[in-house]
Amino acid sequence: MALRWAILDGRLHDRAGFTCGVPALDDYLRQRAGQHQREGIATTHVLIDDAQPARILGYCTLSAAQLLLCELREPDRQRLPAYPVPAVRMGRLAVASAERGKGHGQALLGHAVNRALSVRQTMGVRVLLVDAADAQAAAFYQAHGFRPTAARALTMYLPIGPA
């Protein structure tokens, strides 16, 4: 298995064949992801195995975002200026049902962090932001270091500390 990342391309990747068990996340990939990408709303990153390059093992979407300083926990606010905190939002994250438990979810998170760090070479980014769909998703994020924001427990952030 040779895994790699790609930006979603409807001509190359089988969106219809992807199913993760959450209809809203399947529908997004099929019906909205391409449009959002063209319109600059969100970019969809797909995890692919080179042996079957059309098959989407998992995906996440990334967008620019910001978070009010007061949404961070007190220790995470220290030494930050009194402005909104620059962020990358991972709006959606899903792994194909048949591919669960193989570390792909963790790999997608790692990819999002790496993308955020890469963006930071040209533009400030201090947190990775997610909207967990439910308590189970929130538990997954919490297990990977995300913290709830002050206003909404399901909106969570991962601090990306100073370089």
Interface contacts to ligand COA, rule CB under 6 A: 20-22, 25, 93-95, 100-106, 132-133, 136-137, 139-140, 143
Q: Judge whether 130 and 90 are in contact, CB under 8 Å.
A: yes
| The pair of three-digit structure tokens given for residue 48, joined into one six-digit string | 């692919």
Question: Which residue lies nearer to ligand COA by CB, 125 or 130?
Answer: 130
96/158 Cα distance (integer angstroms) = 24
Whole-number minimum distance, CB 162 to ligand COA, in Å? Answer: 27
In the complex, residue closest to ligand COA by CB: 105
Question: Which residue lies nearer to ligand COA by CB, 74 or 96?
Answer: 96
Whole-number minimum distance, CB 143 to ligand COA, in Å? Answer: 4
136/154 Cα distance (integer angstroms) = 10
Q: Judge whether 150 and 110 are in contact, CB under 8 Å.
A: no
Question: Which residue lies nearer to ligand COA by CB, 20 or 70?
Answer: 20
Whole-number minimum distance, CB 119 to ligand COA, in Å? Answer: 21
In which element (H, E) is residue 54 found? Answer: strand 52-67
Bridge partners of 88, per DSSP, are 64, 128
Whole-number minimum distance, CB 150 to ligand COA, in Å? Answer: 20
